Amino acid sequence: MTVAAGKCDALILALGASPIVPGIPGVNLSHVVSAEDVLAGKAILKGTVIVIGGGLVGCETAEYILDRGGDGTTVTVLEMLDRMAATISPTYRPFFLARLKKMGIRMETNTTVLEITGDGVKVDRKGAADFIPGTAVVVAVGLKADQALAESFQGLAPEVYRIGDFVQPRMIKEAIAEGFEAGMKI
């Protein structure tokens, strides 16, 4: 049965978000995967791995890769801003970053990826060009809600609520609060 055929009184849309694919040359090469594919077990990485994006997802993905990669696996996280994992709670962030450092994860801030090649990434570090070798590249630069998908549900019920990452990608606490609020309105 489809939503339209169900003739429901209210519709709560919790359809998530999709990974952002940056316009970096080489992003479509075969050794480039999304953080979501890594975390879902669709891509198992070993060797010298580069993670583009040092937010919460990028850092946690780096930890996940190193935990499962075995001997010889190394991970470098590249962040273009000046802070790694900037959105993590300030009370937890120092311990989280210290754990990553202790694991041997290399973290570089103020590093912009210019191009992904077959054997690594070309970067810019405050105006200085450099190359970081790698056998696999993970893209973890954020998520985006699908506005066209949201519009396709409009008018299918008298009340339509969007919640969670389908509104805007954030933390789970916001999704829970929005789900509760939508439930209370129905």
> In terms of pTM, does the model score above 0.75?
yes
Domain locations in the chain as residue ranges: 18-143, 146-177
Mean pLDDT value across the chain: 93
Q: What is the pLDDT of residues 74-110, one digit of tens each?
A: 999 999 999 999 989 999 999 999 999 999 999 999 9
Looking at residues 159-184, what average pLDDT do you find? 90
From first CA to last CA, the distance across the chain in angstroms is: 22
Q: Is 4's pLDDT higher than 80? A: no
Q: What's the pLDDT at 106?
A: 98
> Can you name the residues that pair with 113 across neighbouring β-strands?
123
From the list 44, 95, 101, 99, the residue with the least C-alpha distance to 77 is 101
Q: What is the mean pLDDT of residues 120-130?
A: 96
**pLDDT in the model for residue 146:** 84
Res. 40 pLDDT band, cuts 50 70 90: very high
Note the CATH architecture for domain 18-143: 3-Layer(bba) Sandwich (3.50)
pLDDT score for 167? 87
